[in-house]
Structure 1
C-alpha cells in the first residue's frame, strides 16, 4: 500500500464511518502529510505498512523542535488514529505509536468576554455600512446561541423556526440540534434578512444560506474572524478573540447565571458532559458564591 492510497482510504473512513467535518478531516490528513514529507526529504523508503517505531520517533523529534506541547500532543494523537485505522482494517499488525506518549499538557481554559465587552463590540458596528446589519446579526447569533463558526456560516433560512423560538443547527458530524433563540436576536436577523439580504444578487446555490457576502455568496470562516478582529481593534480590546470566544462567553455567562450544565451541553452540541464541564473551572469566585448560597452547612 502506498501513502496516497492510504490517505484516500482513510479520508473515506473519516467522512463516511466517523462522520467528521471537512475541516477536521483536513486537520488529520495534515499530520500524515507532514510525515510523508519528512520521509521524502530524508529519502526514507517506508510505506504505511512498513514504517516502524524508530522512524516515527525520529520524525516526531525533528518536528517537535518547532511545536509547543499542545501541538505535539495533537500531532501524536492524529498519527495514532491513522495507524489504529490501518490495524483495524488488518493492513498492519501493530501501531508504531503505541509506545510513544504525548507530552503532558494542562487543560487550557477558554478565553471569555464580559457582557460589557460584548456590548461594546456590537455597538462598535457601523450600521450605516452596507454590511453593518448583517454583522450585528452575526455577533448576536454567535453570542445568544453559542454556535461554532462553521455552524454559523452554514445556517440556512430554512433552519429558522422563529414561531417556535428555535433554530436548527447542523454541528460536527452533521449532527443536528435545536437551539433556542431570543426574540431580540430574531429581530436583528429579520432586519438583515428582510431589508438588506433581499437586495443582493444571490447565487442559486446560496439561496438558502442566511449570511452572505456582498456578492451574494456564502461567507467564509476567515471573513467572520476578520469582522470580529476588526471590531476588537476598533474598541481597543486588549484580548485575542475569535468567533469561538463568543461561544465560550455564551456558556460561561449561562453557567454564572445559574443555568443547568446539562442544558448548556445540549445547546452547545457537546457529545460528552465532560467537555462542557470545562466551564465550571472558569469563574471560581462564582462557584464560591454558589457554595455560600446553597450548601446546607453555609
Structure 2
C-alpha cells in the first residue's frame, strides 16, 4: 500500500469510527502531508510501516525551525494518532513518535471584548446594505450563543426551536447540544430571514442552511472572519479579534455575572471542564467575590 492508501484508510477511520468533523480530519491530513513533503524533498523512500524513529526525529527537528511551538505540538499529536491507528490495525508494532515529547506550551489566555466593544461592533454594521441585517444576526448569534464559527455556518433553519427558546448545535465530533437563544437574538434572525434570506435565489443544496451569501450559497469560515475584521477596523478596535473572540466573550461575561462553570461547559460544548476552567483565570474579580462570599476567614 502507498502512503495515500494508508492516509485514506486513516481518514475513513477518523470519520466513521471516531466521528470527527471534516475540519479536524483535514488538519490531521495536513500534518501527514508535511511529513510526506519532507520525505520527498530529502529523497527518503520509506513506507508508513518501515519509517524509523530517526527519520521522524529529523522531520520534527526540521519543522521546529519554521513553525511555532503550538503548531509543532499539533503536528506531533497528529502523527502520533496516525501511527497509533496503524498499530491498532496491526500494520506495525510500534509508534515511531513514542519517545518524542511535544514542546511545552504556556497557557495563552483568550482575548475578550467588553460589552461596549460588542455594542460598538454591532452599531458599525451598515444596515442600508442587504448583507447588513444578516451580519447583525451573525454577530448577535455568535456572541449570544457562544458558537464556534463552524457551528455558525452550518446552523440549519430546522435547528431553530424558538418557541422553546433553544437552538440545536452540531459541534465537534458531530456531538449535538441545545443552547438557549435570547428573544432579542431570535428577533434579529427572524428579521434577516424575512427581509433578506427569503428574497434570495437559494441553491437547493443549502435550502435549510440559515446564513447564506447573496448567491444563495453557504458562507465560508473565511467570510465570517472578514466580516468581523472589517467591523473591528471600522471602530478602530485595538485588538486582534476573530469569531472565537465572541465565543470567549460569551463565556467570560456569563462567568462575571455569576454563571457556574458546569453550565458554561454545557453551552460551549466542551468535553472536559478543564477546558472551560481557563475562563476562571480571566475573571479574577469573580474569584475574589467567591472568597468574600463563602470562605470562613473572609473577614
Q: Distance in 2 between matches of 1:242 and 1:150?
A: 13
Counterpart in the other structure of 1:229: 229
Deviation at 1:293, TM superposition (A): 3.0
The 8 Å contact of residues 255 and 286 in structure 2, kept in 1 or not, is answered as no
Displacement of 1:110: 1.2
Provide the rounded CA distance (Å) in 2 between the counterparts of 1:108 and 1:74: 15
Query: Superposition pairs for residues 260-271 of structure 1, below 5 Å?
Result: 260-271=260-271
> Unpaired runs of 5+ in structure 1?
none
Task: Check the 8 A contact 2:225/2:242 in 1, yes or no.
Answer: yes
Q: Where in structure 2 are the equivalents of 1:30-49 lying within 5 Å?
A: 30-49=30-49
Deviations 1:148-175 (A, max 9, x none): 1111011111111111000111111111
- Report the equivalent of 1:53: 53
What TM-score, normalized by structure 1, do the two folds share? 0.98
Q: How many Å separate the matches in 2 of 1:105 and 1:169?
A: 30
Query: Do 2:150 and 2:221's aligned partners in 1 also have CA atoms closer than 8 Å?
Result: yes
What stretches of structure 1 move > 3 A for 4+ residues in a row?
A: none
Structure 2 stretches of 5 or more lacking a match?
Answer: none
1:81 is aligned to: 81
1:44-94 Cα offsets, whole Å, 9 max, x none, are 111000001100011111111011111111111111111111111111100
> Following TM superposition, by how much is the alpha carbon of 1:240 offset from its aligned partner in structure 2, in angstroms?
0.7
Aligned residue for 1:131, secondary structure, equals helix
Structure 1 residue 130: Cα displacement? 0.8
Alpha-carbon separation, structure 1, partners of 2:233 and 2:294: 41
- The answer as to whether partners of 2:153 and 2:211 remain within 8 angstroms in 1 is yes
Q: Which residue of structure 1 lines up, in the alignment, with residue 282 of structure 2?
A: 282
Measure the CA separation in 2 of the matches of 1:297 and 1:127.
54
The number of residues matched between the two structures is 298
Equivalent residues of 2:124, 2:235 under 8 A apart: yes
Equivalences for 1:239-258 in 2 at 5 Å?
A: 239-258=239-258
- Contact 2:228–2:242, Cα closer than 8 Å, also in 1: yes
The alpha-carbon deviation at position 106 of structure 1 amounts to: 1.1
1:283 Cα shift? 1.8
Quote the residue 2:9 is aligned against.
9
Q: Is 2:30 aligned against 1:26?
A: no
* 2:294 aligned residue: 294
Q: Which moved more, 1:103-112 or 1:148-157?
A: 103-112
Normalized against structure 2, the TM-score is what?
A: 0.98
State whether residues 255 and 283 of structure 2, in contact with CA within 8 Å, keep that contact through their aligned partners in structure 1.
no
CA displacement at 1:188 relative to structure 2: 0.5
What's the offset of the Cα at 1:145?
0.3
**SS state of the match for residue 137, structure 1?**
helix
**2:196 aligns to what?**
196
CA distance in 2, matches of 1:189, 1:246: 17
Matches within 5 A, 1:57-206: 57-206=57-206
Task: State the Cα distance separating 1:290 from its structure 2 match.
Answer: 2.3
CA RMSD of aligned residues (A): 0.9
